[in-house]
């Protein structure tokens, strides 16, 4: 069966790499993809927001399955476009992707169904939002309602920071219409954890749990990024806490979406905070695979990813075989100097063969081929280097050894990925 994967990041490289292991997979197309994806898939020069062109391509090639990676096209209804043309597609429809596309929708849903999350208020009026903010203690969290490329959330430790964030969202409109509403919510203390699940209606099949490192510098310092590194499993978090998160948050949310007439089919990604007393609460839901969570989760999948996608599409996800290996995986992201602010592109990358020889998997995010066919940087997050091993320590050593052999000008990586799991 031929497959079309939509997206261009490390997540999509991991998805294509995992699909390519399926004996049922024929040609894998990826639109638009990147240089690394080009080694496992045929690249298609169509952008993720060109729905009609993508659908025409899928019809022309008679692909048996489409898999959508990124949030923006999902929120804009790409799945509905494929479904209207009877093309099998793995991903949530627009009305279900709304759980990521609107934080006010997500918070109201959780409140209505009594699903644990931070206490909050929502506002579409700046003066009222400001008055509320001034009545609350800090730290406090301010969130633009809509998608904001991962930058719409401010955890404010001072009143000044809080008021500046509110003003930039609601008055300066730095995120455009995404900021016409805001959520102001209680600050949650604790450890973060991501649980991604394959979901079809009320059927929830959780993947292995992972932890991301959002800030750009060691010690969780500096601005938030798309994610600087991940690891899985989480040896320092009890299975009972993961189980509680699945039973008290993820399954009830899938059920709530069905009850609201928005059945979710795809990957439901729960961002959770585990309080010091061990109780998990919801920070956010995403309607897709995480990046770079996928890079550590899929290498631990022992079952056939294509079979799982097809089961979800055919309504038999409850019967799908989904097994995880006991191996640990650690992903270290190599970023361009300057990221998440501005950064140069087109810089030559060296040392990938050495990284492969060190036994690591290298998933490409922002890479391209230069004029002479050489590999060059082409984005903020450039590569995700994944080490696998019996323990987190072993996987981590492997990832860092391989990361060290890769060079490009300005390369930046965190040196403390998975450190929390070692103590």
Distance CA 166, CA 124 (A): 11
Residue for token pair 């990676």 = 69
Site for ligand AMP contains 75 (CB under 6 A): no
Going residue by residue from 276 to 315, which x/- string records binding to ligand GLY, judged by CB under 6 A? ----------x---xx-x----------------------
Distance CA 294, CA 274 (A): 21
- Considering only residues 202 to 261 of the shown chain, the ones binding ligand GLY according to CB under 6 A are 212, 226-227
Helix (H) or strand (E) holding 257: helix 251-259
Q: Which two tokens stand for residue 6?
A: 């939509």
| 216, interface contact from ligand GLY, ligand AMP, none, CB < 5-8 Å by kind | none
Residue for token pair 């627009």 = 94
Going residue by residue from 90 to 119, which x/- string records binding to ligand GLY, judged by CB under 6 A? ------------------------------
| 299, interface contact from ligand AMP, ligand GLY, none, CB < 5-8 Å by kind | none
Site for ligand AMP contains 214 (CB under 6 A): yes
Among 71, 145, 185, 304, binds ligand AMP (CB under 6 A): 185
Among 12, 100, 145, 284, binds ligand AMP (CB under 6 A): 284
Among 14, 283, 349, 361, binds ligand AMP (CB under 6 A): 283
Cβ nearer to ligand GLY, comparing 22 with 211 = 211
The answer for 21, left when phi > 0, alpha when psi is -120 to 50, beta otherwise, is: alpha
Distance CA 215, CA 222 (A): 6
Q: HSE-up of 275 (CA within 13 Å, CB side)?
A: 12
| 227, interface contact from ligand AMP, ligand GLY, none, CB < 5-8 Å by kind | ligand GLY
Site for ligand AMP contains 155 (CB under 6 A): yes
Q: Count residues near ligand AMP (CB under 6 A).
A: 13
DSSP state at residue 9: S
Q: Which residues, at least 6 apart from 127, have a Cβ–Cβ distance to it below 8 Å?
A: none
CB distance 79 to 92 below 8 Å? yes
Shortest separation between residue 335's beta carbon and ligand GLY, angstroms:
13
Distance CA 70, CA 256 (A): 23
What are the residues binding ligand AMP (CB under 6 A)?
Answer: 118, 141, 153, 155, 185-188, 192, 214, 271, 283-284
């Amino acid at each position: 069966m031929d497959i079309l994967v939509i997206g261009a990041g490390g997540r999509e490289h991991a998805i294509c790499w995992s699909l390519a292991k399926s004996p049922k997979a024929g040609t894998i197309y990826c639109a638009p993809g990147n240089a690394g994806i080009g080694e496992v898939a045929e690249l298609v020069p169509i952008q993720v927001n060109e729905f009609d062109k993508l659908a025409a391509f899928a019809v022309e090639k008679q692909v048996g399955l489409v898999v959508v990676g990124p949030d923006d096209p999902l929120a804009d209804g790409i799945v509905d476009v494929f479904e209207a043309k009877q093309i099998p597609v793995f991903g949530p429809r627009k009305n279900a992707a709304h759980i990521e596309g609107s934080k006010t929708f997500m918070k109201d849903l959780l409140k209505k169904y009594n699903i644990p999350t931070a206490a909050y208020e929502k506002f579409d009026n700046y003066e009222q939002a400001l008055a509320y903010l001034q009545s609350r203690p800090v730290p406090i969290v301010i969130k633009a309602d809509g998608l904001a490329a991962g930058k719409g959330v401010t955890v404010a430790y001072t009143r000044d920071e809080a008021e500046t964030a509110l003003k930039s969202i609601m008055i300066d409109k730095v995120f455009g219409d995404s900021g016409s509403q805001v959520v102001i919510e209680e600050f949650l203390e604790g450890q973060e954890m991501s649980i991604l699940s394959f979901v079809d209606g009320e059927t929830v099949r959780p993947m292995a749990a992972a932890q991301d490192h959002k800030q750009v510098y060691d010690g969780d310092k500096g601005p938030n990024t798309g994610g600087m590194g991940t690891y899985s499993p989480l040896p320092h978090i009890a299975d009972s806490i993961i189980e509680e998160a699945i039973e008290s948050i993820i399954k009830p949310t899938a059920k709530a979406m069905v009850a609201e007439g928005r059945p979710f089919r795809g990957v439901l990604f729960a961002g959770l905070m585990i309080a010091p007393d061990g109780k998990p609460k919801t920070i956010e839901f995403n309607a897709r695979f995480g990046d770079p969570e996928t890079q550590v989760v899929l290498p631990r999948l022992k079952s056939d990813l294509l079979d799982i996608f097809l089961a979800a599409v055919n309504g038999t996800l409850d019967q799908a075989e989904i097994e995880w290996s006991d191996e640990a995986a650690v992903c270290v992201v190599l970023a361009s100097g300057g990221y998440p602010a501005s950064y140069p592109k087109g810089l030559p990358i060296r040392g990938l063969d050495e990284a492969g020889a060190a036994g690591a998997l290298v998933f490409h995010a922002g890479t391209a081929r230069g004029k002479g066919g050489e590999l060059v940087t082409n984005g903020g997050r450039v590569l995700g280097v994944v080490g696998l091993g019996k323990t987190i320590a072993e996987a981590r050593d492997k990832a860092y050894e391989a990361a060290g052999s890769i060079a490009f000008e300005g390369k930046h990586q965190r040196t403390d990925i998975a450190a929390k799991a070692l103590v």
